[in-house]
Amino acid sequence: MKLNKLNRLIIILLSFILLINLNNKTIFAEDEINNNKVVYLTFDDGPAKKITEDILDILKNEKVHATFFLIGEQIKGQEDLVKRLYNEGHSIGLHSMSHKKNNLYSSNEHFLKEMLETQELINSVIGIKPNILRFPFGCNNTSYHLCKPMVDLLHENNLRIYDWNVDSGDGANHLANPSTFIKNSRSDKDKVILLMHCSYISKNSVKALPQIIKYYKDKDYEFKTITDETPEQYHITK
C-alpha cells in the first residue's frame, strides 16, 4: 500500500518535471524567434488612394503592421487615409514634400526644410510629429551621396534616417511580374528592412504582398514597425 502511494508520487513528480522542461523549451524557442529574426515592411510614396487602401486591407487581414514614408504633397485631400494608417497601428515617416531630386538635393538646408514641412503637415492631420525619415531614392542616389554634415543636421533636428537592406524592386520597375517582387523580397537576414511602394502605380506590389508576408511568417519572423527607437539604417559615402 505504501509502495503504491510512493510510486504514484514519483510518477506525478516526474510528470511535473517533464512538463516544466517542455514549457521552458517552448519559451526559449519563442524568445529566440523574437530576438533574432525581425522584418520591417516599409512602403514609400504614399498615400495613394486605392493602392494604399488595398495594402492596408491586406495588412489588416494578415494582422501585421508596417511603416509608411509619406510624401507631403500627396497628403492633401487624403487626410482620412493618413488617419486610417495611424489608427490601425502603422508607423508613419517623412519622405519629403515634393519627392523631386532637383529641389531636395539642392542643399542640406532645403532637404531639411522639406522634411520639417512634411512633419508639420502630418502633425496637423493626426497630432503627432514623426521624426523618422527616408531619403527619396535612398541615402545614396544618382543626385546625392550622404555626407556627415547632412547626418549631423538631421540629428540636430531630432530626425532619424532609415534606408533599407532588402529591395523588392518595385520602385525601379513597377510593371514587373509580382513574382519578381516576391523573389527579390526574400531574405534570410536576421534584421530585414524591406523596401516596397504604395504609389499610384504600385498595383503589382499589392498583388505580391500576401506572398511576401507568408514567406516571412513561414520563416518565423517577427513583424515590427520602425520607431525612433529602432537602430538607424544608413551609410555615409563621403
Q: Which fold has domain 37-223?
A: TIM Barrel (3.20.20)
Query: Taking Cα atoms as reference points, which of 66, 117, 99 lies closest to residue 225?
Result: 66
Q: Which residues are catalytic?
A: 44, 197
pTM, two decimals, is 0.85
Q: How confident is the model at residue 25 (pLDDT cuts 50, 70, 90)?
A: very low
For 224-238, write each residue's pLDDT tens digit. Answer: 999 999 999 999 987
For 31-49, write each residue's pLDDT tens digit. Answer: 333 458 999 999 999 999 9
- Domain ranges within the chain, ordered by starting residue: 1-35, 37-223
How would you label 95-116 residue by residue, b for 16+ Cβ within 10 Å and e otherwise?
Answer: bbbbbeeeebbeebeebbebbe
Q: How far apart are CA 123 and CA 201, in angstroms?
A: 27
Q: How confident is the model at residue 209 (pLDDT cuts 50, 70, 90)?
A: very high
For 39-92, write each residue's pLDDT tens digit. Answer: 999 999 999 999 999 999 999 999 999 999 999 999 999 999 999 999 999 999
Q: How far apart are CA 25 and CA 198, in angstroms?
A: 40
The three cell numbers of residue 167 are 529591395
